[in-house]
């Protein structure tokens, strides 16, 4: 049952990354590329009917984490308390940036909330990439100092950064050069993803420029991925052990590469949705490849005193996991019905939706 709920949790996070990821990317495009009111409206129309429903997947993933893996929930929510609060405020500002902009028709008012929406989207993309970097790198479980555990084995707390900015320091920070690298990967990948969604859902005059942007950024993304793989050896001496032991796991890196190299053909696609499919494949493959590489660990320990948190030592009791299965089936059915209705109602181009008009 632990493995089943782990797959459920990772699936929810992957769905959230793909769906809310295009919202973040659209916000970054809005911040840097939307110059006219028509271009700004096209972007908000493209994501307006979807963004709040997309965020439900993050809440659902948090619920599954609390229910199925309570030790991991307690450990991560206390240890990552500072960045989680920052992410919460960024989600709030991104939402009210979308909702309040149209309440007052004043230039200064609109500029303020445009910036709030765009900057919050940019920082959210960065922070979620940094979060993945922290999971890959691991944390100092038990707050070990000079070889002695000063806290419970599953407890840790991280400042925003450490003085050395090193991922190999004893006292780690949320942000170091390795986690920041993955944060930049997240920003670039989600910018591409958001651009593909705008191309897919609008007929904006930005679209041709966005195709060129996706093509150019894809070279940047390829370079960042290669650098990330090379420096990974400094963090984990044998990062590909699981792929050697279980060759079928190579399907996930293959999905990642399919999405990455498919995006180089963005300028020749006749179907506007193809770019979004390929960027979705890259995001899905990248996330699943990463978690596959550390499996069964869910939060590695950077010291030799306390063991890593794994799928099996953080899970709830077998009885609770079994009972939850029945409610999960009901909830899954309702969510699938809702998503089908939503995306059918708002299928096709969204230029005339008029989101935010009051």
Any bridge partners for residue 149, and if so which? Answer: 144
- The pLDDT assigned to 357 comes to 59
- The pLDDT assigned to 274 comes to 93
The whole-number average pLDDT for the span 314-318 is: 85
* C-alpha pair distances (Å), 263 with each of 184, 194, 218: 18, 13, 7
- The pLDDT assigned to 189 comes to 96
Q: 3-state DSSP helix/strand/coil percent for the chain, to nearest 5?
A: 70, 5, 25
pLDDT one-digit tens code per residue, 6-16: 999 999 999 99
SS3 category, 110:
helix
- The pLDDT assigned to 355 comes to 67
pLDDT one-digit tens code per residue, 142-183: 888 888 777 888 888 888 888 888 888 778 889 999 999 999
Mean pLDDT of the chain: 89
* C-alpha pair distances (Å), 150 with each of 77, 154, 276, 307, 309: 19, 11, 48, 14, 17
**pLDDT band of 356, cuts 50, 70, 90:** low
pLDDT one-digit tens code per residue, 205-225: 899 999 999 999 999 999 999
Who contacts 164 (Cβ-Cβ below 8 Å, separation ≥6)?
none
Token pair, residue 257, equals: 């590469």
Share of the chain above pLDDT 70, in %: 98
Query: Rounded distance, CA 161 to CA 170, Å?
Result: 12
Torsion over CA of 29, 34, 40 and 42, rounded to 10 degrees? -70
HSE at residue 20, side-chain half, CA atoms within 13 A, is 22
Any bridge partners for residue 310, and if so which? Answer: 297
- The pLDDT assigned to 339 comes to 84
- The pLDDT assigned to 298 comes to 92
The whole-number average pLDDT for the span 125-142 is: 91
Domain ranges of the chain: 2-143+150-345
Name the more confident of 318 and 246. 246
- The pLDDT assigned to 118 comes to 93
CB neighbours of residue 52 within 10 Å: 14
The closest of 88, 132, 71 to 286, measured between CA atoms, is: 132
Task: Name the phi and psi angles at 33, rounded to 5.
Answer: -120, -25
CA 333 to chain centre: 24
The whole-number average pLDDT for the span 306-328 is: 85
The whole-number average pLDDT for the span 178-195 is: 95
The whole-number average pLDDT for the span 95-100 is: 85
pLDDT one-digit tens code per residue, 232-242: 888 887 888 88
- The pLDDT assigned to 17 comes to 94
HSE at residue 224, side-chain half, CA atoms within 13 A, is 20
Task: Name the phi and psi angles at 207, rounded to 5.
Answer: -60, -45
Q: What global pTM score does this model have?
A: 0.93
| pLDDT for residue 288 is more than 60 | yes
Whether the bond between 311 and the residue before it is cis, its omega within 30 degrees of 0, is no
- The pLDDT assigned to 193 comes to 96
Query: Rounded distance, CA 153 to CA 358, Å?
Result: 54
């Amino acid at each position: 049952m632990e493995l089943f709920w782990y797959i459920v949790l990772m699936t929810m996070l992957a769905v959230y990354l793909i769906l809310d990821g295009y919202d973040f990317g659209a916000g970054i495009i809005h911040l840097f590329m939307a110059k006219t009111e028509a271009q700004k409206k096209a972007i908000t129309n493209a994501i307006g009917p979807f963004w709040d429903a997309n965020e439900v997947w993050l809440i659902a993933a948090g619920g599954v984490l609390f229910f199925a893996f309570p030790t991991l929930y307690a450990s991560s929510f206390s240890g990552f308390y500072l960045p989680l609060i920052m992410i919460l405020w960024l989600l709030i500002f991104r939402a009210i940036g979308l909702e309040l902009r149209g309440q007052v028709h004043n230039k200064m008012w609109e500029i303020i909330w445009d910036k709030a929406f765009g900057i919050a989207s940019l920082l959210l993309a960065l922070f979620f990439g940094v979060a993945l970097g922290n999971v890959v790198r691991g944390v100092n479980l038990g707050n070990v100092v000079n070889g002695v555990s000063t806290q419970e084995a599953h407890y840790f707390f991280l400042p925003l950064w450490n003085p050395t900015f090193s991922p190999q320091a004893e006292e780690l920070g949320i942000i170091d050069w390795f986690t920041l690298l993955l944060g930049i990967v997240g920003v670039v990948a989600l910018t591409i993803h958001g651009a593909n969604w705008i191309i897919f859902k609008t007929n904006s005059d930005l679209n041709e420029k966005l195709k060129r942007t996706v093509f150019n950024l894809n070279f940047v993304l390829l370079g960042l991925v290669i650098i990330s793989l090379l420096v990974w050896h400094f963090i984990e001496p044998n990062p590909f052990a699981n792929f050697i032991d279980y060759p079928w796991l190579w399907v996930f890196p293959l999905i990642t590469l399919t999405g990455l190299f498919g995006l180089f053909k963005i300028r020749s696609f006749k179907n506007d949705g193809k770019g979004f499919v390929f960027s979705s494949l890259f995001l899905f493959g990248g996330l699943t490849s990463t978690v596959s590489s550390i499996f069964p660990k869910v939060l590695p320990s950077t010291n030799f005193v306390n063991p890593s948190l794994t799928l099996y030592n953080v899970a709830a009791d077998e009885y609770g996991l079994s009972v939850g299965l029945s409610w999960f089936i009901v909830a899954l059915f309702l969510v699938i019905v809702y998503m089908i209705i939503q995306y059918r109602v708002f299928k096709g181009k969204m230029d005339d939706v008029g989101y935010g008009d009051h």
